[in-house]
Structure 1
């Protein structure tokens, strides 16, 4: 550029004022060029501080370097234009080309990182605006939508998104980036640096900001914290957000196609054809500026401006300058004409975006159930639409996810309790074996059962660890080595045997072993120490009895809920059981008071002459205390067992089906997808027509070798009519036939989706009722198992009659050990089954809310557990009816919508009847209460001409237009395209008039 200016400054034909102006604008362009290069260097480098990098990028993105560069370039061009009128084009042509090249390069260049950022931010703004247009309906509103990953996420990328550093490459593959087929590769691959880690290095430190972390670094996990972790880290959830975003980009693309598009450019060409022809320099473009617009009627308008300068350097040295303004317009009249064709793509993507927004709302419901019970159950957003084949719940489900982890944890605890009880019983059996009251076979049978239980426990613990790792990685998006501590508050009610009670039994057993190991000539002090340690158990035993009392109180609180589903006989039996438990606790308190007094007496009266009697009394007393604790455990287990309740659900499958159809987002989308398939019939049928286009184009040129001298004598206008007969339409015919088949397939799929939904709801409701009944069965089974364990264990503690002189001691029965093992196994199984049934019922309620489409979530995505309304509204209170209406109806429509509707032109409330001819003659098709979908009789409908009447004359409609319009209405009625609020209103009317 300096060389160009120096050459121009020596040209005497250019005045000093123009030289000074040239110098000024050249300086500005050079300064901008150097500044842009510096910014590129800064943004291209890898900053070790991601916050500083982001701040600098955000600061620079707020500027407009293109505008700052274009303004001095345009000023420079204006000066050059002025000079071109003053100096010879032959002498100045080469400099014009050079200056134009430099100006265009500088104006169009700049920091590529900033250009990328501007485009990215512009795409974000437009996509978010398009989503916000549809995000106002409270039925599927999503707050704070963004695809930006949370900075606390493991997948957050702290680097510049527009110029990210290169990840670690495979060494063998990397060589081809630098040398491929003997050619050097691009040398700037490493300009942005190389990153060492793929994941966010700071995500572990950020855990404590939003979840509870223990001192050992383990995460305290409950449903709420698991959900929070999943929203921050889950890749699947991020994929759904990005799919919705991409659908929004599709809308912006189609809107752009129907918007006015501007194009511009300038060329410079130098041609040397040897000595036979003149060298020629052409500066200009065809066109320099151009505007293009596609209309909703399928017409297309193109307006352009072209300009060129031609300089010949040899021969006569002739110079030419010309400009051209032209336009072209084409309007199809048959094939490709009309809004049904021109707006089809835009209509499709606009509807698809709405469908994806609703699908994401439903996905959040499924996302909660996936975190809680390991089941997504919904499809989520799908770019391009989801179709009419809707996947619904099949009617039977299992429990995994977080609740499944708790179930495994409690099963392990139950196994540990059973193993602990077997180990304590084994000590008793071995003592009996030494006394000769039980044979070795039974004792070995017990020992073998213990070893099997240990192996089973080890297997269960390993299974829980594996399930935890899978849950962390698959559901939460976390690495499997992250330590997790489960919050078991949800399953506390299933810990029938308190952990402190087990610890007390272990302490008593230890004291019994110590007493048994005392030598015959033991002194007083060891005995006194045993008695003192035994007295230390008084306080823990008293706390255990207090806990039993509290459990009985909680059982009484659950009585009203339990008795709702009982008949009179069951209520009487339940009352008797509660009285027995209260009497049992009173007896245990009395026994504990007596045992405590005896224990103090033994310790106080201990002396050298009472040593043997004290030891014998201590052995008996420790046995009584152990049985007392075991008795308290039985009462506590039974009280906790009876306190477990579930919420009763009485919902008829037909009502559930109607609620789901009115509330589920995927069925709203399914109705829209069916219409999309139906609409393609018209779209593909359009291609079968003849081509008939009206064309118009014109131009006006300059004269007298002057680029701005437009003249009327040089203008041209051309009108035309294009016609192409529909002789060759095989491909179009096949596409049309396929669209007819696709529509019928979609219609059948949607009918099947309705059936599948109804089937799934019926199965789910039956499963809920089965689980509720099975819960009572398992409750009774646990109670029986507790009693069996008590009776079989009592037989082992029963005193054995002393043998007569010369006789062997009386032995237990040959099945004593086996009976106890069977009872313990039954108790373990029934405990696990009882808990499993309750957790499955809880999961089924959650699943039912999701399948009905009425699962309400708070801002954090947690389930707001509202009672599901009963279907027997004739026996329900007014509050039940109002609650059902609240669940059926969507949230209130914003008042601004109502105001807007009042300003729109009003349409008739009902469609006119249309006569449809069937085998039985013409019938009228009109949506009525008994037939809300407006289904028509089977067979291809044929519209009768005589039903059209004389309305065509008054409405200025042709017979074909009226026929087509009425046919569309008939198809809409036939296919049940009824809005969801109609179905909701029908259901509400039913609930208000239940027989």
Structure 2
């Protein structure tokens, strides 16, 4: 009778293990689907976005240009799976001398070339705009176009490279067609072909520099063409490609993560634990024959309240399926545990319990403001450089109040007193909170090589300084040649010539130094933009162009004056040109480029005619009268200056007019003397020639004095053509024009209202004040009010929900 019953039971239970196994597999699949890398990453992104959207409420420090993942066009963008990226190339020695617990499926350096396509498009656009600007540039003497400052790249080593996906090539939209000598550079490709075009002119291309310097800032023939970018494009490229900017975005993300964790610590934290145990023992085992399945499960939740109270609820069940055929087939017993703990001294109260949440929330506000300030300072660093440095993956300008965020988990020295952390409460059945407030952390990635700060305008300034050096070298070479000629005549010594040569050598040394500084500044600027140093770039000098054009106007003026006083009169210096001297000098007075468009050019003919009509005696008398009148006016001017006064505008104009008339009259006398040719009676040809040349120099010197007002008039006109300084307005006050006290008051008031770092520093003082109460609470003793309750179902039966007060305690 027993065997059939036993067989029936055995047959029934033989179908149960597969059913139980299926339940276990389904439960494992459901739990595993929520425990993957993509799930937690996307969930963290979602929570951080919600927190940042909640905090982004102030226009002054709006969260702009934020994306935790790099721009797809950035050089460091990772197109692979962010949860399973390929392993980067390892250090050979470290790889050889260490175990390899993980087997990488792929070893690669990931990155994007989208920034190169962006540079190529900008290059086409900027060169087309430069060509159009060159065609439409004015051609008047006072507004001549000047050659653009060529900020040239460091030359590339000749070599061959392979074409990579995304490289500029024939037929690619937005990229210029590749032609010999006109190829855009790629960091992985250098051209060794011959350039069919002319070699670009640069600062070190002059004869003085090329023959004496070992550095070259020009591109070699056949080298890839540089990418031409302007200031706005450099700033945009920095937003995309700068590692420092991306680090600050990620810092903002990492600062928001603890906020989500601290908020979660005050939510009801549910948990469930399941365990399946298969037991089997033979008939002769010490414990006897066993053949059963044990299913253990725990379900519960924990809840922390703002007062520090902790509620813990736990439901545990154990179900045994006996397959041995003896005894009860199924046994299921459950237990409920409930604990409620309220600290009254140490660890109790809102000030202590909410401190970690408060601090993380405020830290996020500080980081948002720091990020907003970084965005503003970042453009300053890209445009001007200097004033600070980008170190440790964070731009910290000079003189900025740098807050050090207080960490609630740091403790007080080695005392072990940690404010805001709930002390452990001994509870018999419950494990406590799954996540405790104040226990959050984050990994800090150190920046091995911080990008230096150079700046767009700083690099252009270094290039302009090289141009000045080359100009000085050219002038010093002219002076040295002139000194050598004068030394041959015996007027100066060899020592003085050597001093000229020493100045020339010093100028060449200065050029070498400036070339090195320029190349260093250019490489640093590339690193600042996140570009490879071997990638050639060319900076548009639009910001410097008004200044260079103004300098060119002055240079053109002095060249025109040299032509009018040296080159043109030199054609009239011969003895056979005496009859043509007056007419030739008159032509210079009235129609030379120097006097064109001036009052001098319009009046000189009439003024000179008036002197030409006078006899020599009349000229002498008028010169004496003019000299006496000028002497009186100059005396009055000196007396007025000693009293802190000035003459009237009419009197000052009269002094200038008298000086001009005296110079013009003296020139007429000297010219008449030259035209009389007094050297004709000299018999010695050499002496006759020297006297003629000496008298011509007298004429030329008087002519230069008479022509000087035209040059001075042009200089006064050029002084008014300097580009105006940009207005520096703060709260409606132009700091460049306002009184010093008013300017300082406006700056201080504006800084107090708008300095984001000052806001953070002021808030940190409140953080320190708040910590006083928190640390004081940590010094108190432990005094808790605790409630504990256990309830269970009957043992040895299959009644998992039959709870009763008689079995509670």
The offset of 1:257, in angstroms, is: 0.7
RMSD between aligned alpha carbons? 5.1
Measure how far apart 1:154 and its partner are.
1.7
Of 711, 722, 727, the residue aligned with 2:802 is 711
The CA deviation string for residues 176-199 of structure 1, in whole angstroms up to 9 with x for no partner, is 67xx3xxx8444x21xx221x344
Number of equivalent positions: 544
Deviation, 1:203, is 2.7
**Corresponding residue of 1:479:** 532
Does the C-alpha gap of structure 1 residues 321 and 458 become closer, same or farther in structure 2, counting only changes over 3 Å?
A: same
Relative to structure 1, is the Cα distance of residues 246 and 348 closer, same or farther in structure 2, using a 3 angstrom cutoff? same
Determine which of 335, 339, 344 is the counterpart of 1:333.
Answer: 344
Q: Hey, what's the Cα distance between the residues in 2 that align with 1:99 and 1:435? A: 114
Q: Which residue of 1 aligns with 2:541?
A: 488
Of 129, 144, 169, 2:90 maps to: 169
Structure 2 CA distance for partners of 1:423 and 1:546, relative to 1, 3 Å:
farther
3-state SS of paired residue (2:361): helix
Partner Cα separation in structure 1 for residue 101 and residue 69 of structure 2: 34
Residue number among 241, 244, 249 corresponding to 2:257 in the alignment: 249
Structure 2 match to 1:984: none
Q: Conserved in 2, the CA contact under 8 Å of 1:433 and 1:443? A: yes
1:267 CA displacement:
0.9
Written as runs of structure 1 = structure 2, the 5 A alignment for 1:96-495 is: 96-109=19-32, 115-175=36-96, 180=99, 185-187=101-103, 189-190=104-105, 193-195=106-108, 197-209=109-121, 217-272=225-280, 275-277=285-287, 278-279=289-290, 281-287=292-298, 289-314=299-324, 316-319=326-329, 320-371=331-382, 372-375=384-387, 376-377=397-398, 378=400, 401-432=455-486, 440-473=494-527, 475-492=528-545, 494-495=547-548
In structure 2, relative to structure 1, the CA distance for the partners of 1:101 and 1:163 (3 Å cut) is same
Following the alignment from structure 1 to structure 2, what is the Cα–Cα distance between the partners of residues 640 and 331? 84
Q: Secondary structure at the match of 1:262?
A: strand
Give 3-state SS (helix, strand or coil) of 1:120's partner.
helix
Which is richer in helix?
1
Matched ranges for 1:653-802 at <5 A: 653=744, 656-703=747-794, 710-713=801-804, 717-718=808-809
Deviation per CA, 1:948-967: give whole Å up to 9, x if none: xxxxxxxxxxxxxxxxxxxx
Q: Does 1:91 align with 2:14?
A: yes
Deviations 1:687-738 (A, max 9, x none): 33343323233344444866565335356555xxxxxxxxxxxxxxxxxxxx
Q: Assess, with a 3 A threshold, how the Cα gap between structure 1 residues 513 and 572 changes in structure 2: closer, same or farther.
A: closer
In 1, the alpha carbon distance for the partners of 2:96 and 2:314 equals 48
Q: C-alpha separation between the residues in 2 aligned to 1:571 and 1:107?
A: 98
Task: Summarize the Cα distance change of 1:137–1:186 in structure 2 as closer, same or farther, 3 Å threshold.
Answer: closer
CA–CA distance in structure 1, aligned partners of residues 647 and 73 of structure 2: 55
| Counterpart-to-counterpart distance in 1, 2:350 and 2:266 | 12
Q: Residue 203 and residue 677 in structure 1: after superposition, are their counterparts in 2 closer, same or farther (change >3 A)?
A: same
Q: Taking structure 2 as the reference length, what is the TM-score of the superposition?
A: 0.57
Task: Provide closer, same or farther for how the CA distance between residues 544 and 479 of structure 1 changes in structure 2, counting only shifts above 3 A.
Answer: farther
Q: Contact 1:97–1:268 at 8 Å: present in 2 too?
A: no
TM-score (norm 1): 0.47
Asked if 1:498 corresponds to 2:552, the answer is: yes
Q: By how many angstroms is 1:383 displaced?
A: 6.2
Give a deviation string over 1:529-571, Cα, whole Å, max 9, x none.
xxxxxxxx9xx9859967999xxxxxxxxxxxxxxxxx99699
Residues 703 and 710, structure 1, Cα contact 8 Å, conserved in 2: no
Change (3 A) 1:453 1:121: same
How far apart, CA to CA, are the structure 2 residues paired with 1:95 and 1:668? 66
Q: Is the 8 A contact 2:313 2:338 kept in 1?
A: yes
CA contact (8 A) 2:561 2:711 kept: no
User: 1:697, 1:717 within 8 Å by CA — same for their partners in 2?
Assistant: no
Distance 1:708 1:436 in 2: 128
Deviation at 1:445, TM superposition (A): 3.4
Give distance in 2, aligned partners of 1:367 and 1:153: 17
1:280–1:310 CA contact under 8 A, matched in 2: no
Three-state SS of the structure 2 residue aligned to 1:102 is: helix
Structure 2 residue runs of 5 or longer lacking an equivalent are 128-181, 185-224, 388-396, 411-452, 575-587, 601-642, 668-688, 726-735
Q: Which runs of 5+ in 1 are unaligned?
A: 1-11, 14-84, 388-398, 521-536, 550-566, 592-611, 719-995
1:700–1:710 CA contact under 8 A, matched in 2: no
Q: 1:87 to 1:654 in 2, by over 3 A?
A: farther
In structure 1, distance between residues paired with 2:112 and 2:318: 55
Task: Look up the match of 1:24.
Answer: none
Q: Cα 1:677–1:86, aligned 2, differ >3 Å: closer, same or farther?
A: farther
Corresponding residue number in structure 2 for 1:648? 737
Tell me, in whole angstroms, the C-alpha distance in 1 between the residues paired with 2:756 and 2:121.
34
Q: Distance in 1 between matches of 2:277 and 2:234?
A: 66
Change (3 A) 1:665 1:674: same
Give SS of 2:531's match.
coil
Q: Which moved more, 1:366-375 or 1:124-133?
A: 366-375
Q: Which moved more, 1:275-284 or 1:216-225?
A: 216-225
> How far, CA to CA, are the matches of 2:294 and 2:594 in structure 1?
100
Q: State the Cα deviation string for residues 155-212 of structure 1 (Å, max 9, x = none).
A: 22222211111111233433467xx3xxx8444x21xx221x3443443222245676
Inter-partner Cα distance in structure 1 for 2:481 and 2:761: 67
8 A Cα contact 1:330 1:695, kept in partner: yes
d(CA) in 1 for partners of 2:297 and 2:756? 52
Q: How many angstroms apart in 1 are the aligned matches of 2:568 and 2:364?
A: 76
Instruction: Tell me the distance in 1 between the aligned counterparts of 2:560 and 2:522.
Output: 31
User: Per chain length, whose mean CA-contact separation is higher, i.e. which structure has more relative contact order (CA < 8 Å, sep 6+)?
Assistant: 2
Contact 1:333 1:694 in 2 (8 A): yes
Shift of 1:453: 1.7
Corresponding position of 1:797: none
Q: Summarize the Cα distance change of 1:628–1:402 in structure 2 as closer, same or farther, 3 Å threshold.
A: farther
Where in structure 2 are the equivalents of 1:832-911 lying within 5 Å?
Answer: none
